[in-house]
Amino acid sequence: MRRFALIAVPYLWLLALFLVPFVIVLKISLSDSALAIPPYLPTLDLKAGWSGITEFFSQLDFENFVWLTEDDLYWKAYLSSLKIALVSTVLTLAVGFPIAYGMARAPQHWRATLLLLVILPFWTSFLIRVYSWMGILSQEGYLNQFLMGIGLINEPLIILNTNVAVYIGIVYTYLPFMILPIYSALEKLDESLLEAAEDLGCSRMSAFWLVTVPLSKQGIIAGSFLVFIPTLGEFVIPSLLGGSKTLMIGKILWEEFFSNRDWPVASAVAVILLLILVIPIILFQRNEQKQREAEG
């Protein structure tokens, strides 16, 4: 009985705060927009009894999903989001792996401090940090002032409101999520394995590819998903740092919802986004499972 109660609490939590809202969103995505409060039709009229319920269900349709396929804005936004998420993940990995490697190789008494430095940015609001990037990247920003100051460029670079700024913002924001799992994998790596590889004829470089990388594979996969999944639906970074050409589904969603007040279409966009995300989430879970099995 007690065990049941223990399991029931988190499940009730998920039911109330995830499944129920999802069903509501799903229902809205099947409705039609209307100039009313709430801004969609139909609404369930329980007073009408059984006929009210059948009436309600008969009015639901997939019109909004069909609409998403007809207007090329949406699938372009999905593709562009996928591309930005993919490129950002690769960039974050390229930046994060060397940092994690350096941390794992650092003397023992330094590691706790280095770990703290990675987590430290979380102590300030995410929004403030993104806004400060605007100050750094803008035309009169610190970066351009610095580059022009040392005479490297004559004209200020246009970075803010481009995809480059979006990549910078995403890599910066999600870097800790990449570093931490890779670090934890590399920290467990036994130094004598690398010596054994060298002893058996590997150069330093090939020992890295044949031993270090395969043994930190789980960390690399985990880190990549932890970056890829939230980046795909990212809204704040592209809307603050990106320009009008930056097409990301999170931004479209926000505009449908708040600018166009077309809740049903916005809901349909959200449902599709969720379906796209289910695939990497399942893959991520499977990776975690494999890792647990390997360690168990």
Partner 1 sequence: MAIDEFAPWEDPEAKPIIQFKNVTKRFGDFVAIDDLTVDIYEKEFFALLGPSGCGKTTMMRMLAGFETPTEGTILLSGKDIAPVPPNKRAVNMMFQSYALFPHLSIWDNIAFGLRRDNLPKNDVKDRVEEMLRLTRMEKFARRKPHQVSGGQRQRVALARSLAKAPKLLLLDEPLGALDKKLRQDTQFELMDIQEKTGTTFVIVTHDQEEAMTVASRIAVMDNGKIIQVSTPDAIYETPNSTYVADFIGEVNIIEGKATSVGEKLSMAWAEGQPEIVGTPTTEFEKGQSVHFAIRPEKVSISAEKPETANAVQGKILDIAYLGNISTYHVELPGGQIIKAQAANNRRLSRRSFTWEDNVWLGWTDTAGVLLGR
Q: Which residues bind partner 1 (CB under 8 A)?
A: 190, 192-193, 195-203, 206, 210-211, 214-215, 217
Provide the token pair at 214. 């395969």
Q: Which is nearer to partner 1, 188 or 261 (CB)?
A: 188
Q: Which is nearer to partner 1, 108 or 259 (CB)?
A: 108
Residue 227: CB minimum distance to partner 1, A = 24
Q: Which is nearer to partner 1, 51 or 192 (CB)?
A: 192
- Give the helix ranges, DSSP H, for the chain: 2-14, 20-29, 50-58, 63-70, 72-105, 108-119, 126-137, 142-149, 163-187, 191-199, 204-207, 213-215, 217-232, 236-241, 249-254, 263-295
Q: Which is nearer to partner 1, 129 or 217 (CB)?
A: 217
Residue 111: CB minimum distance to partner 1, A = 21
Judged on CB neighbours under 10 Å (0-12, 13-18, 19+), 134 is middle
Nearest CA to 241 among 117, 96, 88?
Answer: 88
Residue 149: CB minimum distance to partner 1, A = 43
Q: Which is nearer to partner 1, 134 or 210 (CB)?
A: 210
Q: Which is nearer to partner 1, 34 or 215 (CB)?
A: 215
State the Cα angle at 62 between 59 and 67, rounded to 5°. 125
Residue 185: CB minimum distance to partner 1, A = 12
Judged on CB neighbours under 10 Å (0-12, 13-18, 19+), 65 is middle
Residue 91: CB minimum distance to partner 1, A = 26
Nearest CA to 257 among 76, 43, 40?
Answer: 40
Residue 238: CB minimum distance to partner 1, A = 38
Q: Which is nearer to partner 1, 63 or 198 (CB)?
A: 198
Provide the token pair at 18. 């995830």
Amino acid in the structure at residue 234: E
Angstrom distances, CA of residue 21 to CA of 27, 145, 271? 10, 48, 12
Residue 292: CB minimum distance to partner 1, A = 14
